[in-house]
Amino acid sequence: MNAREEVLARLRSALGDGPAEVAVPRAYRRDSSHDPDQLAELFADRLADYRAGVHRTSVDRLAETVAALLSAGGPLAVPPDVPQPWLGAYDGRVLVDGTPAPLGTETLDGVASVLTGCATAIAETGTIVLDGGPAQGRRLLTLIPDHHICVVPVTDIVGTVPEGLERLVPTRPLTFISGPSATSDIELRRVEGVHGPRRLDVVLVR
Amino acid sequence: MNAAHGKGHLYGPARFERAARTELAKPQLRENLRHATHTIRDKRAEVVDELPDWEQLRESGRAIKAQVARRLPELLERFEAAAVRAGATVHWARDAEEACRIVTGLVQETGASEAVKVKSMTTQEIGLNEALEAAGIGAYETDLAELIVQLADDASSHILVPAIHYNREEIRDIFRQRMPGAADTLSDAPEELAEAARTHLRRRFLSARVAVSGANFAVADTGTLVVVESEGNGRMCLTLPDTLISVVGIDKLVPSFADLEVYLQLLPRSSTGERMNPYTSLWTGVTPGDGPQRMHIVLLDNGRSATLADPVGRQALSCIRCSACLNVCPVYERTGGHAYGSVYPGPIGAIISPQLTGVAENTSLPYASSLCGACNDVCPVKIDITDVLVRLRGQAVDSKRGSPSAERVAMRLLSWVMSDPRRYDRALRAARRGTAPLAALLGGRRTIRHLPWPLSAWTSSRDAPLPAAESFREWWQREQAQRGETP
Amino acid sequence: MKIALFVTCINDMMFPRTGVAVVRILERLGHRADFPQQQTCCGQLHANTGYQDEAMPVIRQFVRTFQGYDAVVAPSGSCVAMVRTLYPQLVGKDPDLAAAAAELTLRTYELSEFLIDVLGVTDLGASFPHRATYHPTCHGMRALRLGERPLELLRHVDGLELIPLEGAEECCGFGGTFSVKNPAVSGAMLDDKCAAVLHTGADYILAADNSCLTHIGGGLHRRQAAPRPLHYAEVLAS
């Protein structure tokens, strides 16, 4: 018997007592009772709690807000389909992943910031979710640079984790990001900044 | 089919009570543990109180896992099919040794001489690092706490925070002495220590060709794996190398993607006391042009099927490794994780380890608890840990029925006395008569400092009272007689 | 109402005054408790140490003794927890016993449950002009969910000053045979509990279990410290 057959046979034999069917109650909340403004405020509050930067802006002023966050200069990496208007006020160097070639890890290690959108955002937990969809790019883009700027239209913010998951396609590569990289490994005290981006700026667009 | 038990880092060289005594003698350790467990305990309580539906989430978390246990063979087959469809290769391992052999072979196939590792209890359980090193492959832990423990050549002492037994000064000293390139001027500020770890591992991440991970959850419907982490070391390992090997205990399954909405709420709040951990990665097989292009999944039994066979004990397989039970356990708080001898310490370890190895191989762990029940109250999937402990104590006793034991003789005698009121009554009187001379000797004092073995264990740290001069039933009989009623 | 007192074996032998206190409290409320003399022990020591087979005859004796009473009242959170939470599991193999035990489980009460939930009384007219602190024992707190009940009764005691105990919800380290099998850990837990008790400056340490009180009291006695262990029933009867 190969390992697969043997493990499955062991399990079937272990369940010889035919344990009863289990009813799975789902009495937890699916949504929060917040309106869009409250959601945006809750999201901002949670992000700030993780020491992420939160910047509120409008569609008209988005380019300005992004440029201000990039004032330190240094090359900026972006996914190939980043909306051009986002970069309208930035005059520094921009490296586009995939044009002409995918950016290598060494190159990305040398960029200062990365600018992306997101698939959805969850207010209660202060989470942005990337799924490789529009304006998000490959996973390593938002991992290697030390500074991640994420543009979140307030209409993309949902209240709860169940609402967030509902909007996702399970088989896409998904990354849930809640604040900058952090650790609690020393005396169980949270410290921001280890291997992932040490700075996370979230731009909320109304 | 006979239950096949697991092997690996699931028991220590000494029985718990002996190892605990050694650990208790380290005042710095006790101080570190007290500080850390109380810090995380309070944080957890705060973020749990914030959710109005915490109890409903726990109940769903429990029920989903109970359902998984019931449907495990079918769900594993579903998971395998979905993962294969998505481009992963699935391997099955009966035990630790087989899993190590598979992973070692897979690394060797790539020609790489080292692998970066995401923190994983399962790979620790099977002793994967040792196996890889024996094959000439360097296995590098990248989680900060795992790195500390690996640099110190120590063993982990907590499920979530393996270096919980060290304080910041000790970690600074380990880095200064053992971490290549660490400055002699490195301070003990946690920010600076984290920065040192970042610098130390950066090049290794960027050049790694093979990564080894575990998984917090495996979704049967979609073949998706989930890793929950904080530092970004997990994302580095899951994204940058070309080959990813994930060792997944067969207990990690959840039926559907939507079930994650329960566990992604329960786990972070229970483990680090955060609303959500900084990074959670979910991936399904291979995504062309993004992340590892070769994906291997090793499904591990190593005693889990044997655990499933016990109708009470099987609830231990629901564990999502949050470690909330460790953080509230008064025993863990004082002994730390090393006393348990297993990679799974604390209350949950005391029910997981003996079931994976077979209780006969691990008889002291079920007794490593005062049965206070603090663990049950915080468990996000409502495992009745104390119930399982009592169950396993029974199995520990049964496993030794063949050999003589003073304890069993005493317990049988006591049972014989207690099951008959006349014998019980005589025993009560005898106990008082037996201790009467002692009471006279002690004058008015009705406490004693030194009892003979085995009760000397009691008087090692507290005085013992003597039986009352008149038992309750004697009082009752006297009282009834005075009232003119026949007793 | 036919009320039986289950005094528990440790109280019978070591702390008869606690049993007397329960009898007096009930008398004061106009109830006459019976003390069925066939009673011995609930079997917890055996069951919790892993001697389930040896526990069975003791459990049978318990069920035989208390069948036919409307209420069984015990001054012990731990022993009541044994009956209520472990009996249903342990007696599962024996259908007749299981049925009798299941029925009995519903009618077995820790003293404060009986006084508050069944009799609806909180003020027992007691007087105890002392400073005391209260340790909620683990089985009372977590297995029976006694909550504030004992404290609610104590708050009505005339002259009693109740001082909060820091880390009250932490186990004292007794745990039955745990204290003998793991004496070092048990002793370390006791150290902290004694320190917390001493910190209150109370004259008495009260609890719903004389087993835990023996442990804590033994620790305090070893330290030659002043607070005296006392079952809360004895305060309510004063």
Interface of B with C in 85-144 (CB under 8 A): none
pLDDT confidence band for B458 (50 / 70 / 90): confident
Residues of chain B contacting C189 with CB distance shorter than 8 Å: 330-331, 334, 370
- Alpha-carbon distance of B281 to B225, in angstroms, equals 8
Q: Do B76 and A8 touch (CB under 8 A)?
A: yes
Number of helices (H), then strands (E), belonging to chain C: the values are 14, 8
Task: Give the C window 91-130 contacts with B, CB below 8 Å.
Answer: none
Sign of CA dihedral A90, A93, A95, A101: positive
> Which residues, at least 6 apart from A181, have a Cβ–Cβ distance to it below 8 Å?
A192, A193, A194, A195, A196, A197, A198, B230, B231, B232, B278, B279
Q: What pLDDT was estimated at residue B362?
A: 94
Distance from CA of C101 to the nearest CA of B (A): 16
Interface of C with B in 40-79 (CB under 8 A): 40-41, 43, 45-52, 54-55, 57-58, 60-61
| Mean pLDDT on C169-178 | 96
Question: Which amino acid appears at position B214 of this protein?
Answer: G
- B439 pLDDT more than 80: no
Taking Cα atoms as reference points, which of B378, B298, B276, B263 lies closest to residue B332?
Answer: B378
- Chain C residue numbers touching B392 (CB-CB < 8 A): 50
Between the CA of residue B122 and those of B148, B215, B339, C50, what are the distances in Å?
19, 9, 19, 29
The pLDDT value recorded for residue A1 is: 87
Percent of chain C at pLDDT above 70? Answer: 100
Nearest to B64 among A11, A24, A173 (CB): A24
pLDDT grade for B484, boundaries at 50, 70 and 90:
confident
Among B164, B235, B308, the residue with its CB nearest the CB of A15 is B308
First to last CA, chain C: 25
Q: Which of C174, C236, C175, C235 is nearest to C204 (CA)?
A: C235
pLDDT of residue B442: 65
Phi, psi at residue B10, to the nearest 5°? -120, -5
In angstroms, the CA C7 to CA B472 distance is 8
Q: How many CB atoms lie within 10 A of CB B478?
A: 12
Q: What is the pLDDT of residues B39-73, one digit of tens each?
A: 999 999 999 999 999 999 999 999 999 999 999 99
pLDDT band of residue A58 (cuts 50, 70, 90) is very high
Chain B contact probe: residue of C7, C17, C27, C40 with most B CBs at under 10 A: C40
The two structure tokens encoding residue A138:
């490959």
Averaged over B191-196, what is the pLDDT?
Answer: 93
Q: Is A187 helix (H, G, I), strand (E, B) or coil?
A: coil
Contact residues for B393 (Cβ-Cβ < 8 A; gap 6+):
B366, B367, C48, C49, C50
**Range name among B23-37, B209-223, B396-410, C205-219 with the lowest pLDDT average:** B396-410
Nearest CA in chain B to C48: B390
CA distances in angstroms from A205 to A40, A129, A151, A178, listed in the order given: 10, 16, 7, 18
| Tokens describing residue B424 | 């019980």
pLDDT digits (tens, 9 = 90+) for C137-147: 999 999 999 99
Chain C residues touching residue B418 (CB < 8 angstroms): 9, 40-41, 43, 57-58, 61
Look at residue B181 and tell me whether its pLDDT is greater than 60. yes
Best residue of B71, B305, B381 to probe chain A, by most A CBs closer than 10 Å = B305
> Percent of chain A at pLDDT above 70?
100
Cis peptide before C136 (omega within 30 of 0): no
| Residue pair B205/B236 in contact by the 8 Å Cβ criterion | yes
Give the residue with greater pLDDT, B435 vs B405. B405
* Overall size of chain C counted in residues: 238
Residues B320-359 pLDDT 10s: 999 999 999 999 999 999 999 999 999 999 999 999 999 9
- Residue B486: its pLDDT value, please? 57
**Cβ neighbours of B396 (radius 10 Å):** 20
CA distances from B173 to A76, B148, B152, B157, B187 (A): 38, 10, 10, 19, 9
Q: pLDDT class for B375, splitting at 50, 70, 90?
A: very high
Structure tokens at B318: 């629901």
**What average pLDDT does range B453-480 have in this prediction?**
86
Q: What is the pLDDT of residue B440?
A: 67
First CA to last CA across chain B, in angstroms?
58
Kindly list the residues from chain B whose CB atom is less than 8 angstroms away from the CB atom of residue C184. 17, 20-21, 24, 460
CA dihedral over B300, B303, B309, B312, signed as positive or negative: negative
Parallel, antiparallel, or unpaired for β B138-141 and A113-116? unpaired
Q: Please identify among residues 75-94 of chain B the ones whose CB lies closer than 8 Å to any CB of chain A.
A: 76-77, 86, 91-94
Task: List alpha helices for A20-104, DSSP H.
Answer: 36-49, 62-69
CA-nearest of B245, B92, B319 to A8 is B92
> Hey, what long-range contacts does B30-33 have (CB within 8 A, 24 or more apart)?
B30/B334, B30/C188, B31/B167, B32/A187, B32/B164, B32/B165, B32/B166, B32/B167, B32/B170, B33/B164, B33/B165, B33/B332, B33/B333, B33/B334, B33/B336
Using a CB-CB cut-off of 8 Å, the residues of chain C touching B38 are none
Q: Please report, rounded to a whole number, the percentage of residues in chain B having pLDDT higher than 90.
A: 85
d(CA C213, CA B449): 16
pLDDT of residue B402: 83
Among candidates B63, B86, B278 on the partner chain, residue whose Cβ is nearest the Cβ of A181: B278
Coil, strand or helix at A152: strand
pLDDT in tens, A171-193: 999 999 999 999 989 988 888 88
Tell me, what's the pLDDT at B169?
95
Lowest mean pLDDT among A188-192, C84-88, C166-170: A188-192
- Of the candidates C11, C89, C173, which has its C-beta nearest B472's C-beta? C11
From the list B144, B164, B308, the residue facing A14 with the nearest CB is B308
Q: Which residues contact B416 (CB under 8 A, 6 or more apart)?
A: B423, C57
Question: Choosing among B462, B479, B483, which should be mutated to test the C contact, i.e. which has the most C CBs within 10 A?
Answer: B462
Q: How far is CA B312 from CA B77, B140, B316, B355, in A?
A: 25, 38, 9, 11
- DSSP, res A194: S
Q: How confident is the model at residue B444 (pLDDT cuts 50, 70, 90)?
A: low
User: Inter-chain contact A14–B3, Cβ cutoff 8 Å?
Assistant: yes
**Average pLDDT, integer, range B295-301:** 98
Chain C closest-CA separation from residue B121 CA (Å): 26
CB contact under 8 A, A181 and B279: yes
pLDDT (average), residues B408-421: 91
Determine the Cα–Cα distance for residues B267 and B216; give it in Å rounded to an integer: 10
Interface of B with C in 147-166 (CB under 8 A): none
DSSP A144: S
Q: Tell whether the model's pLDDT for residue A72 goes beyond 80.
A: no
Q: What is the pTM of this model?
A: 0.95
By CB atoms closer than 10 A (0-12, 13-18, 19+), residue A204 is buried
β-pairing verdict for B464-465 and B294-300: unpaired
Chain C from 16 to 35: CB within 8 A of any B CB = 16-17, 19-20, 35
B302 contacts B96 by C-beta, under 8 angstroms? yes
Contacts of B393 in chain C (CB under 8 A): 48-50
Flag whether A touches B (3+ CB pairs, 8 A cutoff). yes
Shortest Cα distance from C24 to chain B (angstroms)? Answer: 12
d(CA B222, CA B283): 10
Does B1 lie at the interface with A, CB-CB under 8 angstroms? yes
- Which one of B103, B224, B230 would you mutate to disrupt binding with A, by most A Cβ within 10 Å of its Cβ? B230
Residue B1's pLDDT band (boundaries 50, 70, 90)?
A: very low
Q: What average pLDDT does this structure show over B163-177? A: 95
B49 contact partners, CB below 8 Å, separation of at least 6: none
**Range with the lowest mean pLDDT among A110-124, A129-143, B118-132, B472-486?**
B472-486
Q: With CB atoms and an 8 Å threshold, state whether B414 touches C60.
A: no
Tell me what the mean pLDDT of segment C58-80 comes to: 96
Mark which residues 394-423 of B lie under 8 Å from C by CB.
Answer: 394-398, 407-408, 411-412, 414-421
- Tell me: pLDDT of B135 over 60: yes
Average pLDDT, chain C: 95
Average pLDDT over chain B, rounded to an integer: 94
Q: What is the pLDDT of residue B126?
A: 97
- Look over chain A and give the mean of its residue pLDDT values, rounded to a whole number: 95
Burial of B76 (0-12, 13-18, 19+ CB in 10 A): buried
